[in-house]
Amino acid sequence: MRKEKKPKTHRALKYIGRCFLVLLSFLLITFVGAYTALWLICHGPSPAARDLFVSTILETGQMKFLASWYFSEEEILAITGRNGMTHNEDEVNPDMIVIPAQGPAISGEEQQTQEQADIEIVEISGHSFFAKLMIIRDPARVRLATIYPWSDDSQSKSGSTLEQLVQQEDCIGGVNGGEYHSLGNWGGKPKGLVVCGGEIQYNVPQAGDVMIGFNEDDVLIIADTGNLSAAQVENFVTENRIRDAVSFKDIEDGDDNHFTKLIINGTATEFSGSGSGANPRTAIGQKADGTVLLLVTDGRGAGGHLGATARDLISIMQEYGAVNAANLDGGSSSAMYYDGTYEMSSVTLYYATSSWLLPTAFVVDKKGE
């Protein structure tokens, strides 16, 4: 007897079902493998690896929930207490920065030959990161670029890449700036405070906010503003003649771990352990002669690196003579652009040759601008 052929639809459904089972099995094995690997990190023989993992995860925007899979809230607080930054209440003393008088502006061929001498990019290799440091000898060349005006809805207007912000201002380079609403990576609206060219473009202070920016004398000012009202922040900006500034958070509260102040008036902020987790970082500093230091590190698997810790940032800034230094927005936002090329770019695959969408960036004017 001849067997009846099964309908094509039945065979197709059977094939799809098998593919689904294979995919489901693969995902299940991957999940179990990842969960087991993280469990070994969290409960294995190395307390240092455990503490670093928890501190690192707590600094991410989307993955911090992983810490609660393995530890109670009390255990998380104990870990961050062993591996965190103390709150630095010191205020910047502008008199410690003495900027030499700049010579006359130049242009043409002489401008091009002196460009490299006035801006230097240094490569730095650490035990868990790779970094580049942009050294700008004239602080007047560092200012803020933004996508202002903002939209009332943080998702109705996209931000710009770092390259776009640099080119928008006809600048030579820059790094990403302050904190922003990052849900969905729209990058269209900042948080805290934004001052651009002396104009307050955004002023919604939140607990833990720290202002990072320059006054009209080109001195880097790092100041707590999270305990001020919007009116008090406005008065602070006016009284201190702030020309360009952004905000970042200084918080250590269980599942929220951010730090900002690294060095104030030549003294490093006290920390325990490594001071933080290991992640991509962007930091800004200033030497006694006004020279500005813009630092960007990699991490989260880029180049096989975990990233830099607060201790790493402080160490680099001290090595290069920073009197004052602060951490800026980091993680996947960290990027450096210079002279038509991304020196450091986002750690995500999609933005491997670009940057995330940003509302603000510290940019560097071309010579003689």
More confident residue, 52 or 206: 206
Angstrom CA distances, 60 to 30, 57, 268, stand at: 22, 5, 24
pTM value?
Answer: 0.84
Distance CA 281, CA 315 (A): 14
Token pair in block for residue 260: 């900002």
**pLDDT (mean) for 235-241:** 98
The yes-or-no verdict on residue 48 having pLDDT over 80 is no
Distance CA 350, CA 329 (A): 19
The yes-or-no verdict on residue 179 having pLDDT over 90 is yes
- Chain position carrying tokens 């190395």: 46
According to DSSP H, which parts of 131-229 are helical?
162-168
What is the tens place of the pLDDT at every residue in 268-309?
999 988 888 899 999 999 999 999 999 999 988 777 888 999
What are φ and ψ of residue 80, in 5° steps? -65, -30
**pLDDT (mean) for 105-110:** 52
Element (H, E) at 55: helix 47-58
The yes-or-no verdict on residue 46 having pLDDT over 90 is no
Q: List all residues 6 or more positions away from 161 whose beta carbon is below 8 Å from its beta carbon.
A: 354, 355, 356, 357, 358
pLDDT at 156: 61
| DSSP codes, 305-359 | ---B-HHHHHHHHHHTTEEEEEE-S-GGG--EEETTEEEE--SSSTTTTS---BS
Distance CA 150, CA 329 (A): 19
pLDDT at 369: 46
